[in-house]
């Protein structure tokens, strides 16, 4: 059966159903392609000089999450890599930020086998260059797909005369120690935190970083564990805290245990979500502003002018608060490869996304949910406010969250919304950095919304923010009516958008 990698290789990673889309044969082809297009190219050999480059022993690192399909796919990918003369270091079970740590510390490219929050039947690969630098469509992934497609169509390339070697290394203790050095929790007041690992890799990393499982000294932090057993079938709930239904267990446990806060990690534990002591979800935008302020303050204290990156879906509070604190803020499109590229370009100290990805200059400009969690614990534990009171300081505006609409023609629906709003509000500002953003923020009443089409489904994604709840709901409902009903029009009025 012919295999079309265009359905598997996404905008900035590889993800699909096992084995229908992602099989060991496909993984081996992707491994050979990654070796030639990225690893050997980074080593200065180029894709056509594998035998010559092998003499310099180029290398990469591979990790995986707890999915049952992981070991077989890793073995196949490694065969493809070593067949092109590249050494492989296997670090076994790890979080995605654990793989980035290994790539940064060892200064070699990396591959993380994970499908993040996707259901058990999926697996995938997150790829990076040496130093955890991003690999996206414009930075190598398109070439990997093209080469691998050729290998699947015409046969795998011949192995080089001297194949690469495979070794194993445990980096968990070094990873935990490195994060502890970046944020010191030894002096915080005693905290009780409920952590929902969702049967994902947080069940491995949290005991190592917040506890003593990696041999580190104890912290004044009591962890109440939820679903720490590594289980890629996700028997309790999906490991996707972005969906409110998957936070219910954590919210109830925080209240029942009278905890100071709750933390939820996705399947590969690179994203972290926060719940306050009352069980309320804290927006990732608020966490972006909170953590960003800590990093900005550190930079200003050192006499440097900090830059913070945020995607265009984050709250206006992020640039407002961080600019007021003395930072330069840069707005960018959604997606980790774009954020990482802008982080490196600007030498940014920190970056945040609405999806709870948080990026740190001190972590090779890569994203790590665990480091963000440490910053939240430090911010809470060094003052007397509750988590809800602390979060309220960073949430001055009201957001809708992301709302999906199934539409037959996303472009036509977007143009319909634009036509209606341009007619009703001549003073709006429209930009197309990522989808379409319509802003009325400089006039009363303040509001903005963004519409982005899905790359893989017939969906339009809507995000709305306003200065108060009534305005947000009015804009939200008007835009959804226009998206879903071609005959609808936005209502006008001085006090409603």
Cα end-to-end span (Å), the chain: 53
Other CB atoms within a 10 A radius of the CB of residue 494 amount to 6
**Contact (CB, 8 A) for 419 and 334:** no
Q: Which residues of 180-208 are buried (b: 16+ CB within 10 A; e: fewer)?
A: beebebeebeebbbbbbbbbbbbbbbbbb
Evaluate the CA torsion angle 150, 153, 157, 163 in order and state its sign. Answer: positive
Give the DSSP per-residue string, 314-352: S-THHHHHHHHTT-EEEEE-SSHHHHHHHHHHHT-SEEE
- Please, what is the angle between helix 369-381 and helix 202-209, to 10°? 40
**Phi and psi for 88 in degrees, rounded to 5?**
-125, 130
User: Which H or E element spans position 484?
Assistant: helix 469-484
DSSP state of 130: G
DSSP state of 9: B
**Contact (CB, 8 A) for 329 and 323:** yes
Q: Which residues of 12-28 are buried (b: 16+ CB within 10 A; e: fewer)?
A: bbbbbbbbebbbbebbb
| Given the residues 116, 130, 337, 355, the one annotated as active site | 116
Given strand 307-311, what is the order of strands in its sheet? 328-332, 307-311, 350-352, 358-360, 366-367
User: Which H or E element spans position 54?
Assistant: helix 50-54
Evaluate the omega torsion of the peptide bond into residue 19 and state whether it is cis, within 30 degrees of 0. Answer: yes
* Alpha-carbon distances of 134 from 193, 308, 316, 365, rounded to whole Å: 32, 18, 26, 9
Q: Is 116 a catalytic residue?
A: yes
* Alpha-carbon distances of 406 from 266, 423, 489, rounded to whole Å: 25, 25, 19
The rounded distance, in Å, linking the Cα atoms of 338 and 331 is 11
Evaluate the CA torsion angle 227, 232, 237, 242 in order and state its sign. Answer: positive
Contacts of residue 383, Cβ cutoff 8 Å, sequence gap at least 6: 390
Kindly list the catalytic residues. Answer: 116
């Amino acid at each position: 059966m012919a295999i079309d990698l265009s359905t598997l290789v996404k905008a900035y990673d590889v993800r699909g159903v096992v084995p229908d889309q992602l099989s060991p044969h496909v993984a081996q082809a992707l491994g050979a392609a990654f070796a030639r297009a990225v690893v050997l190219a980074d080593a200065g050999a180029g894709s056509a000089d594998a035998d010559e480059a092998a003499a310099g022993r180029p290398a990469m690192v591979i990790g995986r999450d707890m999915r049952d399909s992981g070991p077989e796919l890793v073995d196949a990918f490694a065969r493809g890599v070593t067949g092109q003369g590249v050494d492989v270091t296997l670090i076994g079970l790890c979080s995605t930020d654990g793989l980035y740590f290994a790539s940064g510390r060892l200064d070699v490219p990396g591959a993380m086998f994970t499908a993040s929050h996707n259901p058990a039947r999926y697996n995938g690969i997150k790829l990076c260059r040496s130093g955890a630098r991003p690999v996206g469509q414009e930075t190598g992934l398109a070439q990997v797909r093209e080469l691998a497609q050729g290998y699947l169509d015409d046969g795998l390339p011949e192995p080089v005369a001297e194949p690469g070697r495979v070794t194993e290394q445990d980096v968990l203790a070094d990873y935990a120690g490195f994060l502890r050095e970046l944020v010191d929790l030894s002096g915080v007041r005693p905290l009780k935190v409920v952590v929902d690992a969702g049967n994902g890799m947080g069940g491995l990393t949290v005991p190592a970083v917040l506890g003593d499982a990696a041999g580190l000294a104890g912290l004044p932090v009591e962890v109440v564990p939820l679903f720490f057993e590594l289980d890629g079938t996700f028997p309790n709930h999906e490991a996707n805290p972005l969906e409110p239904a998957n936070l219910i267990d954590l919210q109830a446990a925080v209240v029942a245990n009278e905890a100071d806060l709750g933390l939820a990690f996705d399947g590969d534990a690179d994203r972290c979500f926060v719940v306050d002591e009352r069980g309320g979800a804290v927006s990732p935008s608020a966490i972006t502003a909170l953590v960003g302020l800590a990093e900005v303050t550190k930079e200003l204290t050192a006499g440097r002018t900090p830059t913070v990156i945020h995607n265009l879906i984050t709250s206006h509070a992020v640039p407002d608060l961080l600019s007021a604190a003395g930072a330069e803020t840069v707005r960018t499109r959604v997606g980790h490869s774009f954020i990482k590229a802008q982080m490196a370009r600007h030498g940014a100290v920190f970056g945040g996304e609405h999806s709870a990805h948080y990026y740190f200059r001190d972590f090779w400009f890569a994203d790590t949910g665990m480091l963000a969690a440490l910053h939240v614990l430090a911010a809470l534990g060094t003052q007397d406010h509750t988590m809800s009171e602390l979060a309220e300081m960073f949430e001055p505006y009201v957001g809708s969250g992301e709302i999906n609409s199934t539409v037959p023609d996303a472009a036509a629906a977007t143009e319909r919304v634009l036509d209606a709003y341009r007619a009703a509000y001549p003073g709006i500002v429209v930009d197309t950095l990522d989808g379409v953003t319509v802003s009325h923020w400089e006039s009363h009443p303040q509001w903005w919304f963004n519409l982005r089409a899905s790359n893989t489904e017939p969906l339009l994604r809507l995000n709305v923010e306003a200065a108060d709840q009534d305005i947000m709901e009015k804009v939200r409902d008007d835009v959804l009516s226009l998206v879903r009903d071609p005959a609808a029009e936005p209502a006008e009025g001085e006090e409603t958008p």
